[in-house]
Amino acid sequence: MRRKTKYFSLLLAAAVFISLLAACSSNTGNNEGNNSTAPTTNEENGGQATTSGDEATKDPYEITLAMPVFGSIPKDIEVVQAEINKISQAKINATVKILPISIGAWQQQMNLMMSGGEKLDLAFTFGQSYPSQVAMGQIEPIDELLSAYGEGIKQAIGTEYLKSAEVSGKHYGVPTLHDYAGQSGIIMRKDLLDKYKINIDSIKTLDDLDSVFKTIKENEPGMAPLAIGTGGPLDSYVTYDRLGDRFGVLPGFDNGLKIENYYESTEYADLLNRMHQWFKAGYINKDAATTQIPEIDMVKEDKAFSYFARNKPGYVSEQERGIGKEMVFVNLLPEAYSATSDVMVGMWTISQNSENQQRAMMFLNLMYTDKDIANLMLWGVEGKHYMKVTETSIDLPETTVDYATQSWLMANPFLTYTHVDTEPDVWTKMKAFNEEAVKSKALGFSFNAEPVKNEITALNNVVQQYRKILETGTIDPTKRLPEFIAKLKAAGIDKVIVEKQKQLDAWAAAKQ
Amino acid sequence: MEQATSAAVPLDVLKGKKRKNKYRKYWPLMTMMIPGLLYLLFNNYLPMAGIVIAFKDVNFAKGILQSDWTGFDNFEYLFKTSDAYIITRNTILYNVVFLVLGTVLSLACAILLNEIKNKLLLKAYQSLITLPHLISMVIVSYLVYAFLSPEVGFMNKTILPWLGIEDEVLWYFESKYWPVILTLVHFWKGIGFSSIVFFAALLGIDEEYYEAARLDGASRWKQIRHITLPIITPIIILMTLLSVGRIFYSDFGLFYQVPLNSGALFETTATIDTYVFNGLMGSGDLGMSAAAGLYQSIVGFILVVLANYSVRLYSKDNALF
């Protein structure tokens, strides 16, 4: 008996040992394989970039396309994929394999795929991680590919906006089409405006809001006249180009390209004082600085009356759908402004792991130009995932739909059908809106924070410490604002501004 | 690891042919050790090569090894500002408090549990005090929020009026209360779990010692002082040495989630981990976050060696190595 147990334990040990070895060896095998293929394909691509279209599409190729998924992974993604492939096969002799990645795992998964050398051709990239992905070499410059195969992309976005994606004179990705501008203002509940006979034409500036808030405060107990949730009024009320991180901004979206420290401006001090007045008067919810509840939910739950926002075509109806009440938007600044950060919300990029970058670019071009592919990617298959109502609008079936995604992830939503609940001409309006918006003088400039990354890290922490409590009006700025400014200086904001000005000047010089 | 030491110790005293015999005798045990060793090797030692990232400007196109060396540039931000002092002070002070008070409290807890003779009650108490350990920090942060919320919180609405205090306290903006709040939350959550180890050690003490002591007329307190404590001193030292190594780390959930990352509390709630997170969340710089991790582990390593050294001076048997 004793002997038996002894052998058994030995056997067990051996089994564990072998399985461990097997696991490890298969891993290393994979890595080696990938590492060895990556550099050679890069070379190939470089050489082929100039060859003609016919030759480039000679061999079939499968494009791996990664995009984030909010909520559960759609069941029918393969059905949609098969439909897309029918089109892409005929047009560019390529099929596409959609790789849906849950948003919670997105960042990590992408990093792993990039560093592990896994096959990846096209990927969605968030505007905020775009510069660091460029800096780390995870995505490829695409200027040559863009001129060879991306004519449709250029036309759809327009050169001026397309230039926003440039980093040191090179494109590493193309922005998705969406609203490239915003007009600062406040969105309010229509039923209460009517109830208290508030004339919205009388609201032109921030000063005019005092009496509105006062009326609401006095007559609607338990309701905050102004909601501050995860955002903040000063995030939406912007009179300047933030130039990425707000450490050094361009006042008035122009200022002769002279960068200034917004936190030191009198405008900022005045705004903070106003917020503090409002907070003291009880116009702002008390937990503004710490709450994790979005403004829209506070209004929905009758806890609040209004919130600051940046308007664009379709925005109000979108908010109304979320809240379930009629809303009214009032502009507080005269124009809609567009800055680089407005354009670079999301991008489509070609990964450095791509084994056939031309084909990736060709498919990307289709995403911006082919109406059928755009609709398939956004809405799914007609008759299965949506029904057409008119020529340009659709409705979703009553039953659960096994395919869903977000329109702002789409390369070119302007090509797609609109939902029956939205304004039918929202895309036309948005195109016009983008064209009419006042473009910041620094539109297209992106700050490369790499040379001052130590300062940025320290500044991020200072901002984290002060910005929210000051901008929600929670704390009296008379003492805390000078403290904030002093800490920013100590953390090196001046050095960042000097660096940013240097880069901006160089950018402006190169532009001419 | 434990297998390794238990197998190695007797071997030390053996010599020559006898040692060979012992090897033969213990070979199944040694074989069993292999998976554990391999696990350590692959899981703990191989990834250590990643330390180079802390000294590099990582570029995926070039690959990690080919990326440019940057020397100590990645570490600079940890020491550069006046915040460096605050975050280091907070991290160390909280951990020292957690360590000292934690040992005392969990020991006390274990001794009290040990005195409960009713099996059913004992299980009930044990489950109750261990329960918070199983709750996620995010949920704990909302439990705390239920107490401290400015508008509807239990503290402002119920407890303070009871105590005759009329003024509302804006808890999330007054940094002076937070050392107490965080310590309370930490112990509420962790004490049950950390007392388990001590409780297990107490269960191992032979009942006869106590019987003998009682016959000699020792009081409960004297029994604890002269029997219980000396017997579990090695466990106390072991547990302390193990936690000293993590003195530069902080429980990110506790310091980030529970204060709701409120900027006004920076003075007393910022630790190295939250500072690194807030600073690098936007850029996601691999080198700089690796640098922070390396800095923490090196300080931890030095502290463990020093602490172990001083334990050796005092009692050689109780040292870890």
Look up the pTM and report it. 0.78
Cα(A126)–Cα(A465) distance, integer angstroms: 25
In a domain, B66, yes or no: no
pLDDT value of position A27 = 38
Question: Which residue positions in chain A have pLDDT lower than 50?
Answer: 1-6, 8, 10-52
Q: Which chain B residues contact residue A492 at CB under 8 A?
A: 80
| Partner residue facing A287 (CB), from B61, B149, B278 | B149
- Whether residue B244 is found in the same domain as residue B286: yes
Q: Does the pLDDT at position B135 exceed 90? A: yes
A456 and A497 together in one domain: yes
Asked if the Cβ–Cβ distance from B80 to A20 is below 8 Å, we say no
Instruction: Give a yes or no: residue B13 inside a domain.
Output: yes
Could you say which DSSP state residue A290 is in?
T
> Collapsing DSSP states into helix, strand and coil, what is residue B274?
helix
Same domain, B169 and B22: no
Tell me how far apart the alpha carbons of residues A346 and A129 are, in angstroms, rounded to a whole number: 9
Neighbour tally for B39: CB within 10 Å: 12
CB A24 within 8 A of CB B46: no
ipTM greater than cut 0.90? no
CA–CA gap between residue A262 and residue A496 (Å, rounded)? 13
Within-domain flag for B65: no
Structure-token match 């949920």, residue found: B139
Rounded Cα distance between A452 and A458, Å, is 10
Q: A204 and A331 in one domain?
A: yes
* CA distance to A372, A421, B45, B251, B298, per residue, from B246 (Å): 57, 56, 18, 10, 10
What 3-state class would DSSP assign to A95?
strand
In A336-375, the residues whose Cβ lies within 8 Å of chain B are: 352
pLDDT category, B283, cuts 50, 70, 90?
low
Paired with A418 in beta bridges are A393
> Around Cβ B71, how many Cβ atoms within 10 Å?
9
What torsion do the CA atoms of A311, A315, A321, A322 make, to the nearest 10 degrees? -60
Residues B227 and B179 in one domain: yes
- If you average pLDDT over residues B93-109, what whole number do you get? 93
Question: Is residue A2 one of the residues assigned to a domain?
Answer: no
Do the bridges between strand A337-338 and strand A61-69 make them parallel or antiparallel, or are there none, so unpaired? unpaired
Rounded-to-integer distance, Cα A158 and Cα B24, Å? 78
Residues in A closer than 8 angstroms to B260, CB to CB, are 290, 292
Which residues, 6+ apart, have CB-to-CB distance to B140 below 8 Å?
A: B132, B185, B189, B253, B257, B258
**Interatomic CA distance for residues B42 and A32, integer angstroms:** 17
Give the C-alpha separation, A149 to A134, whole Å. 21
| Domain annotation covers residue A489 | yes
User: Across all residues in chain A, what is the average pLDDT?
Assistant: 85
End of a domain among B33, B60, B87? B60
CB B287 within 8 A of CB B70: yes
B181-235 pLDDT tens trace: 999 999 999 999 999 889 999 988 988 999 999 999 888 889 888 999 899 988 8
* Cα–Cα separations (whole angstroms), residue A505 to A92, A251, A260, B121: 42, 16, 14, 75
Q: Verify whether the Cβ–Cβ distance B83 to A6 is below 8 Å.
A: no
Query: How far apart (Å, rounded) are the C-alpha atoms in residues A354 and A114?
Result: 10
Total structural domains within chain B: 2
Domain boundary among A339, A367, A398: A339
**What tokens does B136 get?**
């996620």
pLDDT of residue B99: 93
* Secondary-structure percent of chain A, ordered helix, strand, coil, rounded to 5: 55, 15, 30
Question: How far apart are alpha carbons B127 and B207 in whole angstroms?
Answer: 24
Please check whether residue A161 lies inside any domain of the structure: yes
Length of chain B: 321
Half-sphere exposure of residue B69: CA atoms within 13 angstroms, side-chain side: 2
**Residues A92, A366: contact at Cβ < 8 Å?**
yes
Domain that holds residue B51: 1-60
Tell whether A224 and A127 lie within a shared domain: no
* CATH number of the domain to which A212 belongs: 3.40.190.10
Nearest-CA distance from B239 to chain A in Å?
30
Looking at the fold, whether A99 and A130 belong to one and the same domain comes out as yes
CA A180 to chain centroid, in Å, comes to: 11
B285 touches A: beta carbon within 8 Å: yes
pLDDT digits (tens, 9 = 90+) for A253-293: 999 999 999 999 999 999 999 999 999 999 999 889 888 88
Strand partners, A53: none
Q: What is the mean pLDDT of chain B?
A: 86
Cβ contact A458–B83 (<8 Å): yes
Same domain? B245 vs B269:
yes
What is the chain B residue with the closest CA to A488? B81
Do the Cβ atoms of B262 and A290 come within 8 Å?
A: yes
Nearest CA to B142 out of A287, A104, A462, A105 is that of: A287
Q: Does A468 touch chain B (CB under 8 A)?
A: yes
The three-class DSSP label of residue A430 is helix
Residue B142 and residue B207 in one domain: yes
What pLDDT is recorded for position A277? 95
| B21 C-beta neighbours (distance < 10 Å), count | 11
In this structure, what token pair is assigned to residue A500?
A: 């940013």
Tens digits of per-residue pLDDT, B136-190?
999 999 999 999 988 788 998 888 888 888 788 888 888 899 999 999 999 999 9
- Does the pLDDT value for residue B35 go beyond 70? yes
Question: Rounded to whole angstroms, how far apart are CA atoms B74 and B53?
Answer: 9
- Select the residue of B32, B81, B150 nearest A287 (Cβ to Cβ): B150
> In a 3-state reduction of DSSP, which class is residue A473?
coil
Instruction: Please name the residue of chain B whose CA is at the shortest distance from the CA of residue A42.
Output: B61
> Do the chains contact at B264 and A135, CB–CB below 8 Å?
no
Is A288 in the same domain as A211? yes
Same domain for B25 and B115? no
- My answer on whether A197 and A318 are in the same domain is yes
In total, the C-beta contacts within 8 angstroms joining chain A to chain B are 129
Residues A355, A274, single domain; the answer is no
A229 with A294: CB under 8 angstroms?
yes
B109 in A contact zone (CB under 8 Å): no
Q: Per residue, what are the HEC states of A247-287?
A: CCEEECCCHHHCCECHHHCHHHHHHHHHHHHHHHCCCECCC
CA angle, A483 then A489 then A493, to 5°: 130
Counting the structural domains of chain A, the total is 3
Cα–Cα dist B51/B65, whole Å: 11
Helix locations, A200-350, DSSP H:
209-219, 233-236, 266-280, 295-300, 315-323, 340-343
Tokens of B3: 């297998």
Tokens standing for residue B256: 């980030």
Regarding whether A157 and A43 lie in a shared domain, the answer is yes
The residue from B60, B82, B97 where one domain ends is: B60
Domain that holds residue A457: 450-511
Tell me, yes or no, whether A174 lies in a domain.
Answer: yes
List chain B residues with CB under 8 Å of A456. Answer: 279, 282-283
Please list the residues that pair with A393 across neighbouring strands.
A418
How close does chain A come to B107, measured CA to CA in Å? 37
- C-alpha span between A122 and A305 (Å, rounded): 43
The Cα of A370 is separated from the nearest Cα of chain B by a number of Å equal to: 32
DSSP string, B250-290: --HIIIIITTTT-GGGHHHH--HHHHHHHHHTTT--HHHHH
Q: Which helix (H) or strand (E) holds A232?
A: none
**Coil, strand, or helix at residue A300?**
helix
* SS3 (DSSP) at A160: helix
Residue B279: pLDDT band (50, 70, 90) is confident
Same domain, B21 and B156: no
Tokens 């406040």, located at residue: A186
Test the A interface: residue of B73, B265, B283, B289 with most A CBs within 10 Å: B283
What type of residue is B206?
Answer: D
pLDDT tens per residue, range B54-86: 898 877 767 778 888 888 888 888 887 778 888
The reply to whether B45 and B171 lie within a common domain is no
Closest Cα in chain A, distance from residue B286 (Å): 9
Distances in Å between the Cα of A372 and the Cα atoms of A53, A83, A157, A379, B1 are 22, 9, 18, 10, 61
Are B5 and B95 members of one domain?
A: no
Per CB-CB distance under 8 Å, the chain A contacts of B138 are none
Q: In this structure, are B53 and B87 located in the same domain?
A: no
Q: How far is the C-alpha of B35 from the C-alpha of B37, rounded, in Å?
A: 5
Window 144-163 of B, Cβ < 8 Å to A? 149-151
Q: State residue A133's pLDDT score.
A: 83
Most confident of A41-55, B37-51, B272-286: B37-51
